[in-house]
Amino acid sequence: MPENSYAYAVARIRAKELALLNAQSVEALLAAKSAEDCMRLLEEKGWPADNAKTPEQLLSAERERTWGLLAELTDDLSVFDVFLYNNDFHNLKAAIKLAYTDQEPHGVFLANATVEPQMLFQAVKSRSYADLPERLRGIAEEAYLALSHTGDSQLCDMMIDRAALTAVLEAGRASKSPLIKKYAELTAATSDIKVAVRCQKTGKSLEFITRALAPCESIDVVSLAAAAASSQEALLGYLDSTAYAGAAQALRASMQQFERWCDNVIIELIRPQKYNPFSVDPLAAYLLAKENELKIVRIILSAKVNGLSAESVRERLRELYV
C-alpha cells in the first residue's frame, strides 16, 4: 500500500489519540474509590461500558473496539499479526497440554489470535497439523512429541516460547514497516533477557539456557546464556555492556521494575510515531499504545478489586504514549 493511502487512517488515529488515557486520567482512575467508579470514569472517556459488567468484560470490549477500528482503516489486517503471535503461541501451549491430558478446553484460550483456538486445539488433538500456519505447524508437532515423551511441561513451554520469538523475528524481517522491524527485534531481545534472568534465578544449565534463547541482532545470545549460567553479577555485567543497560539497572531495583522497563522501551520505540503523518507505523503504534493502556487499566482495576493502595499501584504503572 503506498504511504499516501494511509493519510486518512493516520488522521483518524490522530483524532482517536485524544481519547487515550493521559497522566491526568490515570491519576483520576487511581483516585477513584472502587473498580465500579473506575469503570464509570472510563465510560466517560468513551470506553464501551454498555454491556460490560465486569472489568474483564470492559477490557475485552475495548480491545475488540480497537481491532474493529483498525479493520475499518486498513484492508489488510495481517500487517498487525505480529502483535498477536504471543496469543497464538499461548493458545498452542494450552492446546498441547489439554490434548496431552485429554481434557476439554474451558476458558483457557485467548480470543484475540490469528488462528482460531478451537481449530488449533482440534489440530493438536487429532495430530493433523497440516491446516496450521507454517510458524505453528512444526513446533506444534515437536512440542507435543517432547511433552508426550518426557512429560516435561517446562521443556514444552520453553520450546514454544523460543518458536514464538523466532516467529516474531521472522515477521519483523519480512515486514516493510520500520516500526514493526524494530518492534520485533526489541521484543526478541527483551524476551531473551527475561528468559535469561528467570533461568539464572532457577539455576538452569547452560545447555537449557542456550536452547531457550532466540538469536537476535542486538544481543549476543551465546554471551547472554554464558553470563546467565554463571551468576547474577555476570548477567548484569553483560547487560551493562549492551544496548540494554537499562534492563540491568531495573533488575538491580526489582523484577517488577524490570517488567516495567520492558514495557517502557516499547513505548519509547513507538513515541516518534506521534509525529509521523504517513505509513502504517502510526497505526501499529496506536495499537501498541492501546495495549499498554489496557495493561495499565487492568493493573488499576485489579488493585481496586483487591484493595491495594494507590502508591503500590503507581510503582507498577507503565509510561503512557500521550
Partner 1 sequence: MDKMGIVFALLGAALAALMSGVGSAIGVGTAGQAAAGVVTEDPSKFSKVLLLQLLPGTQGIYGLLIAFLTLTQIGILGGSPEMSLTKGLLFFAACLPMGIVGLWSAIHQGKTSVAGIGIVAKKPEQMAKAMIFPAMVETYAILALLISLLAVSGVGRLTI
The residues that touch partner 1, with contacts defined as CB under 8 A, are: 4-5, 7-18, 277-278
Nearer to partner 1, 5 or 256 (CB): 5
Shortest distance (Å) from residue 46 CB to partner 1: 11
Measured from the CB of residue 76, what is the shortest distance to partner 1 in angstroms?
Answer: 18
- Sign of the CA dihedral 113, 118, 121, 127? negative
User: How far, in Å, CA of 293 to CA of 48, rounded?
Assistant: 15
> What does the block give as the cell for 272?
516518534
Neighbouring residues of 166: CB distance < 8 A, sequence distance ≥ 6: 214
C-beta of 4 vs 34, nearer to partner 1: 4
- Alpha carbon 312 to its chain centroid, in Å, reads 23
Q: Is 111 buried (19+), middle (13-18) or exposed (0-12) by CB count in 10 A?
A: exposed
Residue placing its CB nearer to partner 1 in the complex, 87 or 273? 273
Report the residue number, 133 or 277, with the smaller CB distance to partner 1.
277
HSE, CB side, 13 Å, CA atoms: give it for residue 238. 20
Q: Which three cell numbers stand for residue 33?
A: 474509590
> 155 vs 267, which CB is nearer to partner 1?
267
Shortest distance, CB of residue 78 to partner 1, whole angstroms? 22
CB of 9 to partner 1, least distance (A): 7
Q: How far is the CB of 69 from partner 1 (least distance, A)?
A: 10
Shortest distance, CB of residue 112 to partner 1, whole angstroms? 24
Nearer to partner 1, 22 or 60 (CB): 22
Q: Which residues contact 232 (CB under 8 A, 6 or more apart)?
A: 200, 201
Residue environment code for 124-141, b if the CB has 16+ CB neighbours within 10 A, otherwise e: bbeeebeebeebbeebbb
